[in-house]
Structure 1
Amino acid sequence: MPHNIAFVCDFFYPRLGGVEMHQYQLAQCLIERGHKVIIITHAYGDRTGVRYLTNGLKVYYCPVVPFVDQCSFPTLFGFFPLLRTILIREKIEIVHAHQATSYLGQESMIHAKTMGYKCVYTDHSLFGFSDAACIHINKVLKFILSDVDHAICVSHTNKENLVLRAKFDPYKISVIPNAVDAHRFTPDPSARYPLNTINIVVVSRLTYRKGTDLLVDVIPAIAAMFPEAYFIIGGGGPKRQLLEEIKEKHHLHNRMELLGPIPHNQVRNVLVRGHIFLNTSLTEAFCIAIVEAASCGLKIVTTDVGGITEVLPQHMVYLAKPDPKYIIEALCKAIPLAREVPSQEYHEEVLNMYNWRNVAERTEKVYDNLPTVKNPLINRFKRAGGFGPWAGILGVLIAALDFLVFMIICWYKPVETIEEAPDFPYQKYKQNKQKYGDHSFSVYKD
């Protein structure tokens, strides 16, 4: 049965990353299967209002102010009126939020349950239990997920992590991995450049969580041990300055490239230049980047963290502890064998293992099995009150205030005054795409 679905997340195009690509590809495949999908996110620069992407994917770039790392500024009730209007206009049935650090998604799930919508949450990242930031996110997520109908995790490790940190019922969690469009990530050994070198490719955001600090120790050591080693590094972020410094300090101008942020449609062109793909992440729930690299026929050297062990077969990957010493050891094993990698065989294996259409089919089953019975408000109060003497009182107050705000909004702007938006004619668009024009986007740079 077709569903009307709203993806809500702070992170979407023109910003690029794993969460953004997951939403885009999943939305495209759900549209292909006959569902209606819209994206709700905040404005990015001058990209505001309603935009259409490929196949009529409608994106609402809402006038919400972002602050740290493009996360929306918390307002609690400020976004409620606009969210209600969008959901009613688009005849939405299911609100699907993505990523724990997206406040827009968390806030939308609270409001959606107040309005009686079905809610699904997809968790994309692992979080710890010791530092203040993770403790705060875990506490908030525990409250938010108490009302959610179902959750999706991208790996079994991710599922265990979510159950522990949010006290969520494991029987209400489905494990659906990420995927890759392997037809877009094909090998091309003739594209390897520079010639007569072993090219080691890194494509990621240059942040602490992505292990850039480890990379700073690994690059000079490998460059000294292997004269033929050449590093190609793509991505932007606050840690780029560290790489610039080691480039100057160790005189590596002829041994490494810093390409800066790379549009996703150009990632394949960077990957095929390499023999080895290096991932130094400190935490990963899935890591779609190593799947894309393997599809391009590269040998993978990666830190053994989170759900990475579930992603690729052992013969494709060298795993290392998140420590420069062990990463260097893994590279020392991979470099002598780098020219012997069966690129086409790797591509065929990835093609058979990962497919976005399969992900969409499994996600569709989650939507089909969502409960149809609405929970009374008193049950919501009981769940919120079970978080402890102080957090419980705060949870009940938030739920009660949210319902009160909802009643005021309904009185001020009744449903009858909200005009329904026409659906995008996807079948006609498929038959004559030229008539509707090109829906392109530019890359947002942090």
Structure 2
Amino acid sequence: MPRRSYNIAMVSDFFYPQPGGVESHIYQLSTKLIDRGHKVIVITHAYADRTGVRHLTNGIKVYHIPFAVIYRSAIFPTVFSLFPVLRNIFIRERIEIVHGHGALSAMSHEAILHGRTMGLRAVYTDHSLFGFADMGSILANKILKFGLSDVDHVICVSYTCKENTVLRASLDPLMVSVIPNALVSASFRPRKPASKPLPLRPHEPITIVVISRLYYNKGTDLLTAAIPRILEAHPNTRFIIAGDGPKAIDLQQMIEQNVLQDRVEMLGAVRHEEVRDVLIRGHVYLHPSLTEAFGTALVEAASCGLYVVSTRVGGIPEVLPPHMTVFSDPEEDDLVSATGRAILRIRAGQVRTDLFHDQIKSYYSWVDVAARTERVYDGITNTIPEAEFYGSDASAAPDGRSRIPSFAMIDRFKRYYGCGLWAGKLFCIVAAVDFLLYVFLEWWFPRADIDIATDWPRKIIVEDEEGEEGGWEENGPG
């Protein structure tokens, strides 16, 4: 049977030209889904002078919506003001599935709400971890619970992330799949051909690389405290730090106070295509994050042949095997000690970093991520039976009904009402107003008056009668 193709809208506040893990995930996943015959567009907010519609060279159409950005590249949440624009895009591009990314992306949550009101299927991917005690986390979790009450399926990038998301949003665990990040291994090759590393002479320097956004949650304060102690204990060692953020000034002050200008090099923000050039200059990759759902940077560093030192937080222990990593508790003394152990092992030639690239290549593949994501799309559209998607023993919800959420307003109200004594009533009002706004837009700007966009020519995988991939077929515009 030929594979079904979908028209998919990837929606997030976080996309290129801003560098980051979510941005790279959306781009790579979209690319591989296009290779599998699907139509994918990306909707994000405007970045500086990058507004309107852009076409990337691999066929992805990007809508940069001009909207006020308030914090860490996230737009101001207005709930309803994006609906006219999103409705126009969804209709123009004949979107069937809205796929939101990022817990702190207001645009992704609003797109899911409006997409469900329009009768579209919705998927959400969570890339982060949150706590439960502080006021910011409580507010973020309540918003997440609202956004995911009416979503068809949730994807998490690690099992730790899944546990966190299920608790925060009170989800049925069977409605959440774990699909990890990946990398393009050809873009993260080591500098030298594979050969057993020789012990380093005492005078040969060891370079420690840090590539991260310089924020508190990324452990920049921990890094600032640890660097002078590491350099004091290991004289022939230097640091290269790439990244930017509000904590960059703390690092610069530390360098000046300790007179480390010749041993710590700060590169500032680097583009994703330049990351490999930075990594291959080092021997050890240091990742002092305080919270992390997955940690794509660790995979990229190991693929380039670096020995990884990382804090043992979130989903990081799931990412790399023990022989590639030295773990530390997220506190200064242990981070200094773990980095010291890594330096001694590298200097003694005890770590087979020459084997890391091929091993990472076998572990992580965007082709596999796209295939597993496609199966989620098949499950929520009933392309494959529920019994096959959820498992034969768990195809139906506890009340015997289908696990795929209904579009009926009464069912949507029931799901929102369960979000809390007061929040549930507020969410029901929001859903009702959103539906009334949709009815008004259908009258004020009828679908018949919206031009359908011409599709980018793409290739569709053609399978033979036995279900094997037999070749390619061009699908032109129209």
TM-score bracket, normalised by the shorter chain, equals over 0.9
Q: 1:136 aligns with which of 136, 139, 144?
A: 139
Report whether the alignment pairs 1:231 with 2:234. no
Report whether the alignment pairs 1:413 with 2:445. yes
> Which structure 1 segments of 5+ residues have no match?
432-446
Report the secondary structure of 2:5's partner residue. coil
Shift of 1:217: 0.9
Shift of 1:415: 0.7
Report the secondary structure of 2:167's partner residue. helix
CA contact (8 A) 1:149 1:371 kept: no
Corresponding position of 2:358: 348
CA contact (8 A) 1:211 1:282 kept: yes
Code of the residue aligned with 2:227 in structure 1: it is: I
Shift of 1:342: 2.4
d(CA) in 1 for partners of 2:145, 2:66: 28
CA contact (8 A) 2:311 2:328 kept: yes
Corresponding position of 1:63: 66
Corresponding position of 1:442: none
d(CA) in 2 for partners of 1:366, 1:198: 45
CA contact (8 A) 2:36 2:459 kept: no
Structure richer in helix, relative to its length: 1
Report whether the alignment pairs 1:165 with 2:175. no
Q: 2:333 aligns with which of 325, 330, 336?
A: 325
Corresponding position of 1:105: 108
Shift of 1:189: 4.4
Shift of 1:388: 2.7
Q: 2:28 aligns with which of 21, 25, 30?
A: 25
Code of the residue aligned with 2:61 in structure 1: it is: K
Could you report, residue by residue, the CA deviation over 1:29-88 in whole angstroms, capped at 9, with x for unpaired residues?
A: 000110000000010111000001121100000122111111111111110011000000
**Which moved further from structure 2: 368-377 or 243-252?**
368-377
Corresponding position of 1:366: 376
d(CA) in 2 for partners of 1:331, 1:387: 45
Within a 5 Å distance, the mapping from 1:188-203 to structure 2 comes to 188-189=191-192, 196-203=204-211
Shift of 1:254: 1.1
CA contact (8 A) 1:189 1:272 kept: no
Report the secondary structure of 1:369's partner residue. helix
Q: 1:83 aligns with which of 62, 86, 98?
A: 86
d(CA) in 2 for partners of 1:79, 1:426: 29
CA contact (8 A) 1:187 1:343 kept: no
d(CA) in 2 for partners of 1:33, 1:427: 8
d(CA) in 2 for partners of 1:284, 1:386: 29
CA contact (8 A) 1:200 1:230 kept: yes
Q: 1:217 aligns with which of 211, 225, 240?
A: 225
d(CA) in 2 for partners of 1:379, 1:407: 18
Corresponding position of 2:177: 174
Code of the residue aligned with 1:10 in structure 2: it is: D
Report the secondary structure of 2:422's partner residue. helix
d(CA) in 1 for partners of 2:180, 2:440: 41
**Which moved further from structure 2: 336-345 or 294-303?**
336-345
Corresponding position of 1:95: 98
CA contact (8 A) 2:37 2:459 kept: no
Report the secondary structure of 1:55's partner residue. coil
Report the secondary structure of 1:233's partner residue. strand
Shift of 1:336: 1.2
Could you report, residue by residue, the CA deviation over 1:375-405 in whole angstroms, capped at 9, with x for unpaired residues?
A: 3111111111222331121011111101001
Within a 5 Å distance, the mapping from 1:352-431 to structure 2 comes to 352-371=362-381, 374-427=406-459
Corresponding position of 1:437: none
Corresponding position of 1:248: 256
When the two structures are superposed, what TM-score results if normalisation uses the length of structure 1?
0.93
Shift of 1:281: 0.3
Could you report, residue by residue, the CA deviation over 1:148-199 in whole angstroms, capped at 9, with x for unpaired residues?
A: 0000000000000001111011101110000011111011149xxxx92110
Report the secondary structure of 1:37's partner residue. strand
d(CA) in 2 for partners of 1:412, 1:152: 36
When the two structures are superposed, what TM-score results if normalisation uses the length of structure 2?
0.87
Code of the residue aligned with 1:34 in structure 2: it is: G
Corresponding position of 2:308: 300
Q: 2:280 aligns with which of 260, 272, 279?
A: 272
CA contact (8 A) 1:185 1:296 kept: yes
> Which structure 2 segments of 5+ residues have no match?
194-202, 383-403, 461-471, 473-478
Report the secondary structure of 1:201's partner residue. strand
d(CA) in 2 for partners of 1:226, 1:344: 24
CA contact (8 A) 2:35 2:459 kept: no
Code of the residue aligned with 2:250 in structure 1: it is: L
Code of the residue aligned with 1:112 in structure 2: it is: G
d(CA) in 1 for partners of 2:271, 2:147: 33
Report the secondary structure of 1:253's partner residue. coil
d(CA) in 2 for partners of 1:8, 1:424: 19
Shift of 1:427: 4.5
d(CA) in 2 for partners of 1:265, 1:282: 26
Report the secondary structure of 2:218's partner residue. coil
d(CA) in 2 for partners of 1:351, 1:119: 31
Shift of 1:249: 0.7
